[in-house]
A and B are shown apart, each in its own frame.
Chain A
Amino acid sequence: MRGFNSMTWRLALPCSVLLLACGDAGNSSDSTSNSSTGQPSTTVDPTTPPTTSNPTTGVSVSDSDTTAGSNSNSESNGTSSGSGDPTTTTNSSATTTSASTTDNPGTSSTSGVSASTSGGESSTGKVICEPGDGMGMGMVEKSFIWIPSQDLSDVAKVNTQTMVLLARYKIGAGGDSPSRTSVSGDGRFVIVNSRQTGRSTMVAANIEDCVDKNNNGKIETSQGPNDVLAWGTDECILWDKQWPYAGGFAAGPRGTTWTPGTWDYDLCQYVDPKVWIGYSAPGGVAHFARVAVDGTVEETVMVPGWNGQGYSPYGGALDPEFRPWMAGLRGEFIRINTDQNPITVDRFTPPGNTQGYGFTVDPDGNPWFAGCGGAVSTYDTDTMQYTSIPGTNACHRGIAADEKYVWAAANGPCGLVQIDRATNTLIKFHNTNPCSTAIGVSIDAEKYVWLVDQEGWAWKIDPRTSRR
């Protein structure tokens, strides 16, 4: 398994950031356990009202997130270029709840280790390593991409190195419409969000993290692409959680991002990762739940008046200070300030022509939006300026960033957009053959770009053959 101490990723960050990251304030001690009902137990009103500005432009767009997954490629409101005005931003203390609810208790523990993080010293008082030490070296041992199928209610596990489809897992009884998947930093755990049923399902990537639930001395789990066990019988499904969502397809969980957890100086790696999951609760309130690997809901941040065209938070990503960002469909985006106590939320309203669909945060901490229909755009968190990339105008879908480039799936025409994120310029529009509906984009552990096509395949793309 690829661990944090054997990754090939490279990034230099100031030490102050590292120390802040080690603290992972989002994992602070306010996550007390006081409920087992699956519902948040307490509510605290925000100290200031949220922004209510509306960024929509009157562009006519079709439902872009239907169960069938179809979208209209005819959407277009023109390509904008240049920099926009500073965003509308509101900072408020988030409504948060702290609760401890565990579904299917008795599943595996996170790591079986105790984090001893005390000022850069190990439990023996000896300085061993800091985050980043020893990284950038070594070989990737395992790397997977997890591709959900909305019509089959399953998720496929593909080895990104061998390109072999290794297993498929049912994530619900059927009609779940799973969409967003998100992988923990150590690659061990995967969350799958089901839009229709309002449920999230946790999958263990490695057999050693699966649980012998029927105590027969072995792990029953999928052994191949055509070996799909019935729902509830695959023992690499750790748990599933029904969210108290508003009901219906639009409100189900979507946007998600993991945090790496806390730094363990003895182990020289992060432990106890958390995953943030966004869904829509009744009354137009977006909920962002922080969930432990064992299924415990440790905290829920509530954002009233969510602006996302009636859909739950659409996308999520983490910034270098380990703060989750979540974006609404063609609406607002937020930063959950987990480095503050109590947690606050910054709400941003982008220019109307952003038309944000796919969302990510690049290694420098700047959000990117895949416009549909519109341009690929970015928000500079230092200058508070928006920039739309000239030459990009389509219904863009998923988006991902690596060290140098931003990659966005595009429909109409179908393909992959490559952007130089240092100069904010379009490098190239890449075609694939075949190309039906390019939709998901991710970067694997060896920095290959993956483009998932809705029609039933994925492309592994070597970005080194497409540089200037």
Chain B
Amino acid sequence: MARRPGGLGLEDRPENVPAMKQVMVPGSHYVYSDMTGGQLNSILPQ
């Protein structure tokens, strides 16, 4: 992620690389589905 000059905070620009964190998960993953339930929850009345 990029920071503003002077290190005052995150720069909110599209060219910034998003903040990412990695977690290792054993095996070979071949998945395209809603692994979190996020799609379903996104269409619910809220």
Task: Give every chain B residue within 8 A of A150 (Cβ-Cβ).
Answer: 27-30
A106 at the interface (CB under 8 A from B): no
Task: Give every chain A residue within 8 A of B38 (Cβ-Cβ).
Answer: 400, 402, 442-445, 447
A463 at the interface (CB under 8 A from B): yes
B36 to chain A, nearest CB (A): 4
B8 at the interface (CB under 8 A from A): no
Task: Please judge, given known A-B contacts A258-B40, A443-B38, whether A461 and B19 are in contact too, CB under 8 Å.
Answer: yes
On whether the beta carbons of A439 and B23 are closer than 8 Å, the reply is: no
A79 to B41, CA, bound (A): 31
B5 at the interface (CB under 8 A from A): no
On whether the beta carbons of B39 and A431 are closer than 8 Å, the reply is: no
In the complex, which residue of chain B has the Cβ closest to the Cβ of A463? B18
**How many Cβ-Cβ contacts under 8 Å join chain A to chain B?**
248
A457 to B27, CA, bound (A): 9
A437 to B22, CA, bound (A): 14
A: contact size bracket: 35 or more
A12 to B34, CA, bound (A): 22
On whether the beta carbons of B27 and A149 are closer than 8 Å, the reply is: yes
On whether the beta carbons of A180 and B28 are closer than 8 Å, the reply is: no
Task: Give every chain B residue within 8 A of A135 (Cβ-Cβ).
Answer: 44-46
B: contact size bracket: 35 or more
Main SS class of interface, B: loop
A68 to B45, CA, bound (A): 39
1/0 per residue, CB under 8 A from A, across B2-46: the answer is 000000001011111111111111111111111111111111111
A9 to B28, CA, bound (A): 31
On whether the beta carbons of B21 and A7 are closer than 8 Å, the reply is: no
Task: Give every chain A residue within 8 A of B16 (Cβ-Cβ).
Answer: 465-466
Task: Please judge, given known A-B contacts A9-B44, A147-B31, A440-B32, whether A156 and B20 are in contact too, CB under 8 Å.
Answer: no
A338 to chain B, nearest CB (A): 14
Task: Give every chain B residue within 8 A of A402 (Cβ-Cβ).
Answer: 38, 42
A398 to B36, CA, bound (A): 13
On whether the beta carbons of B34 and A427 are closer than 8 Å, the reply is: no
Task: Give every chain A residue within 8 A of B45 (Cβ-Cβ).
Answer: 11-13, 17-18, 21, 130-132, 135, 320
Partner of B17, one of A7, A132, A146, A431: A431
On whether the beta carbons of A440 and B29 are closer than 8 Å, the reply is: yes
On whether the beta carbons of A156 and B26 are closer than 8 Å, the reply is: yes
Stretch at the interface among A97-105, A230-238, A281-289, A358-366: A358-366
On whether the beta carbons of A455 and B28 are closer than 8 Å, the reply is: yes
Task: Give every chain B residue within 8 A of A130 (Cβ-Cβ).
Answer: 45
On whether the beta carbons of B23 and A165 are closer than 8 Å, the reply is: yes
Chain B positions near chain A (C-beta within 8 angstroms): 1, 10, 12-46
